[in-house]
């Protein structure tokens, strides 16, 4: 889940050890912050048993996270261009710590929702700022590797959260406490890393005065590219939302898998595949990346549907991995095409609009799954969801294939 923002590619901060390791410092903080946002995923079944709420309530809890991300993106997504990268990242890390503390204190639904909203705000601030910081801190000849590092820190962190929480919950005891205590411990060096890394914004000022919320923006000349990229992004993020919020229930109710470590590993595999998909775009450049990625989403959801129908863990995991790979490739291709087509003076605003749609996709379909599972079986709901993602991905690829000959003509 990377983003685009104005960078200062030709400027390097002052020399020193902190400068040399600046990208790694920012990447560590990035990974820890993102891991904190997905820690609750393998713990949802335990929360359901502990507090006695339904699967629909789980989807509502998850959706509040996406709401927090959207608010963070729109209100503070561009704050670091004014106040500096470090002054934006430090409060975001503080919000991450507050979220962990709220989960530690949670004794019912209310605090769980508060914790997820705060976690979403942290992610909304962190995502774009940290991506830009990693790239800006790199030497000019290492910008490409820095972009890769930011991608791995982002998606890798999101994947490591469920894996870490699942392992701790399954094998270390205190499943609703220990993961958050470990998260708080990891945040301490993350704060130190941000404090010592160089600032890359010239003339940064500590005040938010004059900062305005970002308004969703899509210039007319970008709309055709934006629409097909946003449709693919919507489909892909819906898949990530499904695995982050609903996968534990799929595994428990359909496949009788109740091992928290196994749940965490399944979710991790989807995010790991997404990372590989983003990296593989280097080998499939241009519009083909979007088509191939959308094809991966279609095939992955078909395999996942087969897994749900046949109650096959192997097929369900294979479908998630294939779809995750397709999500990573199509998302990066779509975002890259949108940013390349956008005028420089509105590029960051267009990218923020793209991410807003993506995070809406993270929440709305998952809520739909939660609602429909109250009427029909979770298996049937999953099959319908898989079909919907397949249709969206096919539409995005079809729009590109139809519009490309038109442009040539």
CB within 8 Å of 286: residues ≥ 6 apart = none
Could you tell me if 118 and 95 are in contact, meaning their C-beta atoms sit under 8 angstroms apart? yes
pLDDT of 15 reads 47
Q: Cβ atoms within 10 A of the Cβ of 17, count?
A: 8
Mean pLDDT, residues 58-63 = 85
Assess whether pLDDT exceeds 90 at residue 170: yes
Task: Tell me the per-residue pLDDT of 61-94, one tens digit each, with 9 for 90 and over.
Answer: 888 988 898 888 888 877 777 788 888 899 999 9
Cα torsion angle, 98, 103, 108, 113, sign: positive
Assess whether pLDDT exceeds 60 at residue 9: no
Mean pLDDT, residues 43-66 = 87
Q: Cβ atoms within 10 A of the Cβ of 137, count?
A: 27
Least confident stretch, 142-151, 209-218, 285-294: 209-218
Residue 261 has which token pair? 């470590």
pLDDT of 3 reads 43
Task: Tell me the per-residue pLDDT of 260-272, one tens digit each, with 9 for 90 and over.
Answer: 999 999 999 999 9
Average model confidence (pLDDT) across the chain:
85
Choose the most confident range, by mean pLDDT, from 51-60, 179-188, 276-285: 179-188
Q: Which CATH number fits domain 16-200: 1.20.1250.20, 3.40.50.11540, 3.40.50.720, 1.10.10.10?
A: 1.20.1250.20
Fold matches, 16-200 and 214-409? yes
Assess whether pLDDT exceeds 50 at residue 111: yes
pLDDT of 114 reads 96
Domain ranges across the chain: 16-200, 214-409
Please state, in angstroms and rounded to a whole number, the distance separating the CA atoms of residues 323 and 181.
Answer: 32
Fold for the domain defined by 214-409: Growth Hormone; Chain: A; (1.20.1250)
Could you tell me if 131 and 154 are in contact, meaning their C-beta atoms sit under 8 angstroms apart? yes
Mean pLDDT, residues 300-311 = 94
pLDDT of 7 reads 43
Residues 387, 269, 39: CA angle, nearest 5 degrees: 100
pTM: 0.85
Region of 197 (left: φ > 0; alpha: ψ -120 to 50; beta: rest) is: beta
Mean pLDDT, residues 376-400 = 88
């Amino acid at each position: 889940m990377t983003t685009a923002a104005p960078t200062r590619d030709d400027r390097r901060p002052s020399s020193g050890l902190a400068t040399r390791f600046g990208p790694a410092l920012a990447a560590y903080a990035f990974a820890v912050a993102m891991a904190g946002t997905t820690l609750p995923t393998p713990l949802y079944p335990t929360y359901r048993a502990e507090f006695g709420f339904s699967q629909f309530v789980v989807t509502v809890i998850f959706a509040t996270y996406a709401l927090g991300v959207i608010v963070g993106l729109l209100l503070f997504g561009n704050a670091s261009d004014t106040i500096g990268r470090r002054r934006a990242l430090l409060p975001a890390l503080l919000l991450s710590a507050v979220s962990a503390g709220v989960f530690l204190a949670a004794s019912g639904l209310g605090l769980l929702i508060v914790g997820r909203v705060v976690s979403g705000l942290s992610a909304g601030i962190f995502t774009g700022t940290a991506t830009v910081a990693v790239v800006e801190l790199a030497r000019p000849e290492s910008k490409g590797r820095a972009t890769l590092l930011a991608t791995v820190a982002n998606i890798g962190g999101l994947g490591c959260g469920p894996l870490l929480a699942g392992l701790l919950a399954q094998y270390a005891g205190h499943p609703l406490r220990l993961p958050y205590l470990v998260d708080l411990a990891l945040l301490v060096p993350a704060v130190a890393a941000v404090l010592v890394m160089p600032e890359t914004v010239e003339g940064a000022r500590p005040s938010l005065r004059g900062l305005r919320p970002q308004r969703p923006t899509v210039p007319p000349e970008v709309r055709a590219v934006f629409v097909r990229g946003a449709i693919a992004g919507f489909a892909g993020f819906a898949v990530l939302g499904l695995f982050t919020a609903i996968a534990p229930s799929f595994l428990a109710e359909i496949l009788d898998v109740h091992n928290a470590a196994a749940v965490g590993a399944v979710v991790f595999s989807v995010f790991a595949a997404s990372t590989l998909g983003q990296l593989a775009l280097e080998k499939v450049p241009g519009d083909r990346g979007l088509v191939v990625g959308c094809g991966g989403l279609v095939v992955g959801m078909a395999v996942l549907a087969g897994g749900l129908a046949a109650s096959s863990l192997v097929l369900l995991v294979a479908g998630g991995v294939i779809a995750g790979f397709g999500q990573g490739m199509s998302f990066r291709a779509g975002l890259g095409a949108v940013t390349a087509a956008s005028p420089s003076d509105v590029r960051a605003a267009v990218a923020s609009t793209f991410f807003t749609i993506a995070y809406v996709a993270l929440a709305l379909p998952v809520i739909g799954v939660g609602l429909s599972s109250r009427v029909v079986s979770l298996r049937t709901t999953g099959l319908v969801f898989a079909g919907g993602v397949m249709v969206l991905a096919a539409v995005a690829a079809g729009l590109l294939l139809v519009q490309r000959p038109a442009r040539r003509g």
